[in-house]
Structure 1
């Protein structure tokens, strides 16, 4: 790269970094300046009770997710050749891309008072139905979303074990317990702290699930309490106290998380011909088959309930309803710019880091900038969406009505919240592409827009489309920022869905959930279609 190109690349990364830090910093500053530090330290018994519940439900959710994930991951690792294994692993990835509100509605359809589980229990003579609301519902929903994530990460660790281990275990006639103690557990032991920390962080900062399934003051987390303090009570000092406490908790969790090795999801890339003798017996296959069937049923049942319930609603009438059309248009009007802003920021950050890393003479400033850009994706986890929205809501309120600023703020928050995911998709792809094409471009003297059109875009089209579709799906399914800024002038599809659920219009809610799910599924298909056609050609 020429000196001018290096300057432009580093300046672009610095501009993106300053923009993100300024947006987050202004939100935090407005949060503390609105009522002063007095509001941030005035914690009462109610606040401490919410804190205890937040940490308690996150700890229980993490423990249950790992307890259920371990046998499923081990069964998938042992049974490598059954029909449908690849699709079952892909099913484990589906809840991670599913809008949270849709998953919650599907769980209500299966586990709710009038759901399939309670109907079966009633046939067996049980009078007391299962209660989906409260702590039990929150735990169930968190296991539904986080157990598949843990399965994929644990499976990746098991499949990284050398094939020779399994051949030696078979030749020595080791029992399944000995294999677990001597081979599997050493591979899983180093992964569990990182996976547990990641799931705990996700559960502690959960908003939509707790808002939907919380069931009252006894089952409220910090993020939901912040929303209630502003949306219903309009108590800014209380909201500031809760938001400040949330910042402290997420900072501590993030600090602990950085000390743990990040787990890698490689479950779909490892297809080595490994033979596991401990999984070939009839008893082993039967036990593993039961575990895998139960896990598949647990994940598929809510999704099928959404499909069936949505088809029972009057979809045509719902789609033609003006409110639904406006909500869908508003969702796309937010999702498209949010995804594009997120992609631009990701491109600037990744390109700047690569340029800084290639410098022969690194200064203290270049090293600092390199680390700050690398930490940006983790920094956005420090300030959850509801805390960002609270700071901007309180700051903009000083200037009057917040409605004119609502849409741009929601776009910016959604773009920043999607950064960790898009950078994870783009960073490895851009690194490989840069390694393959750098010398070619230098020898041909191609740079600027010509390089992008002829070299970069054909080689990076697939990861860019994947990142774009994923960022749009995240924005389309978001309820955090919209829940605070939502009004008659800003109604997205998830907010309309939540409103219909709250007004007991369950048929409309089922139809809207199916519509939102189909839109997100279509985005995922479109995001991967370009790469697939390119590979075939």
Structure 2
């Protein structure tokens, strides 16, 4: 599978990747533990309990709403397979995945805010009390905006795996909608639902930007936002450390619970016919209404962001030197973090293949077991927690802003690592199965193998992973919120600062620039994809 020189290179690269991630995350964790050891402050005081309770409550409500609303959307898309515009609805459901949370929050404010479209319609209907987008309501709207399309795509992929013979049999038996759901669709949905719900719950429990922007005050604060407030406003490192420990504990319990539901989806026997749903004709009107509401809910914040962004004074914005520096800083950090994430991901993907060879040593087998866990380490220790540890460490050396670009680059690279690995691993696995033995038998190794065999086949997944890593880094606010300093700013930090100072026109223009860049990075690689496979619970 690999030549001797390639095996040696992979072992060295695997050791470097493993050591780098463990040292970087371990140093931050060690600093947090050291500060916690010298703190006499109680962990579970009234404030901490309130923050923890709100974190779990909003995550639970967000998950329930996202999943419950996604089920009828997925069923409608599964039933109506040929109507014009279906492919555009599927593509629209991808957009929130590549959109920075801060940009989406600005669009949600335009639609659901006090002067937004929804409240204008309510006032026309005679209701004087507007819907408040700040607080729990705004957080739930934003989380549903991001996660309901994600859940719908996962559920649709599961429904598309139902053997076509089932639908032919249900039509021959004259089964109604209720029987079809109970006997055919629900058993499939029930198998994948725990994994989908668990993934969404973990994303909502670790939400930072949405809560920071739409929380509206101390009553709506999650653990990660409380860490940021403890450092940036109260400068209470002890409380930040204790909250970081609580965040790690909550995330660890969630990952453990998700692992309990990790199981491959069951596949039914099929002759491989094309899927034909005979029950869609009777539900065209109701399915059309469901998909119309879904499209309006998803597209409205995007359209509002576009309209408000186009109304900004771009002539003045383009001459703003702070915008120039923020854009250059963001692009440089995102490019560097994308490269670093790929460099760490490659050993994580390839070293386990070495362990499958018969002559693999003990060190190689141990490294092959440790590296996949390393790729998901950032899920256990969230970016805000890692950034907090390094902030506390570096402040002893002076101004932390000097170290901000390097730390933010590494944190963003680790944040993108789980997604990069999940893009590269299946592509590399298939490619090696098809070509590795033939390339080795022909003596094509090293750079020649990379140039003539690996790169042509893997260019698309590589570029997809790199573009997605860049987009995640470009739109991230969590790490820069900890290290943000005078003279150092990224586009998300500049956008957040303009929103906080009520310069809404400038914020809208910056949001449009940031959103367009991120969508250009992510849409080409995802827009034409088939619906995503349903995740196992540990995705």
TM-score (norm 1): 0.94
Q: Residue 191 of structure 1 contacts residue 263 of structure 1 at CA under 8 Å; is this kept in 2?
A: no
Structure of greater relative contact order (alpha carbons < 8 Å, 6+ residues apart): 2
> What are the superposed Cα offsets for residues 502-521 of structure 1, whole Å, 9 maximum, x if unpaired?
00000001100100111112
Residues 73-92 of structure 1: pairs in structure 2 closer than 5 A: 73-92=74-93
Gaps spanning 5+ residues in structure 1: where? Answer: 532-537
Count of residues paired in the alignment: 522
Q: Select between 10-19 and 154-163 the one with higher mean Cα deviation.
A: 10-19
Partner of 2:460: 462
Partner of 1:314: 313
Correspondence for 2:507 among 483, 488, 509: 509
Residues 125-274 of structure 1: pairs in structure 2 closer than 5 A: 125-261=126-262, 273-274=274-275
Correspondence for 1:382 among 372, 380, 393: 380
Quote how far apart the aligned CAs of 1:315 are.
Answer: 1.7
Partner of 1:112: 113
Using the alignment, how far apart are the partners of 2:406 and 2:59 within structure 1? 32
Partner of 2:395: 397
Partner of 1:101: 102
Q: Residue 65 of structure 1 contacts residue 146 of structure 1 at CA under 8 Å; is this kept in 2?
A: yes
Partner of 2:490: 492
Q: Return the structure number with greater helix share.
A: 1
Root-mean-square deviation (Å): 1.9
Using the alignment, how far apart are the partners of 2:448 and 2:277 within structure 1? 51
Q: Residue 65 of structure 1 contacts residue 150 of structure 1 at CA under 8 Å; is this kept in 2?
A: yes
Quote how far apart the aligned CAs of 1:366 are.
Answer: 3.7
Using the alignment, how far apart are the partners of 1:3 and 1:225 within structure 2? 51
Quote how far apart the aligned CAs of 1:143 are.
Answer: 0.4
TM-score (norm 2): 0.94
1:55 matches 2:56: yes
Residue 277 of structure 1 aligns to a residue in which SS? coil
Using the alignment, how far apart are the partners of 1:366 and 1:174 within structure 2? 56
Q: Residue 9 of structure 1 contacts residue 351 of structure 1 at CA under 8 Å; is this kept in 2?
A: yes
Using the alignment, how far apart are the partners of 1:364 and 1:355 within structure 2? 11
Using the alignment, how far apart are the partners of 2:495 and 2:123 within structure 1? 30
Residue 81 of structure 1 aligns to a residue in which SS? coil
Partner of 2:412: 414
Q: Residue 10 of structure 1 contacts residue 356 of structure 1 at CA under 8 Å; is this kept in 2?
A: no
Quote how far apart the aligned CAs of 1:527 are.
Answer: 5.8
Residue 318 of structure 2 aligns to a residue in which SS? helix
Residue 93 of structure 2 aligns to a residue in which SS? helix
> What are the superposed Cα offsets for residues 278-299 of structure 1, whole Å, 9 maximum, x if unpaired?
1112xx1000000001001100
Using the alignment, how far apart are the partners of 1:446 and 1:489 within structure 2? 51
Residue 114 of structure 2 aligns to a residue in which SS? coil
Q: Residue 352 of structure 2 contacts residue 365 of structure 2 at CA under 8 Å; is this kept in 1?
A: no
Residue 274 of structure 2 aligns to a residue in which SS? coil
Q: Residue 345 of structure 2 contacts residue 375 of structure 2 at CA under 8 Å; is this kept in 1?
A: no
Partner of 2:534: none
Q: Residue 354 of structure 2 contacts residue 360 of structure 2 at CA under 8 Å; is this kept in 1?
A: no
Gaps spanning 5+ residues in structure 2: where? Answer: 530-539
Partner of 1:519: 517
